[in-house]
Amino acid sequence: MKLYGGGDTLQEFKNLCPGLYVSVIDDSRYYFFTGGGTVLTAIEQGSPYGLKPVQILMERAGKAV
């Protein structure tokens, strides 16, 4: 699983790697946070896996397997 976050980061990702962005936007192995605050919280905690949205995604991914 890969996590990307922050509106500015996502816009740069889209601008710099448009083909990759389009290919992964609907891929369940990638998650795009639109709020930079969430990313800062993950950095403060030392891991994104404690964040509620990530926990829910991981639970859903586990059920889909």
Q: What percent of the chain has pLDDT over 70?
A: 86
**Model pLDDT, residue 64:** 52
Global pTM value: 0.47
**Model pLDDT, residue 3:** 65
How far is 65 from 50, CA to CA, in rounded Å? 21
pLDDT above 60: residue 65: no
Mean pLDDT of 24-53: 78
Phi-psi region of 35 (alpha: psi -120 to 50; beta: other; left: phi over 0): beta
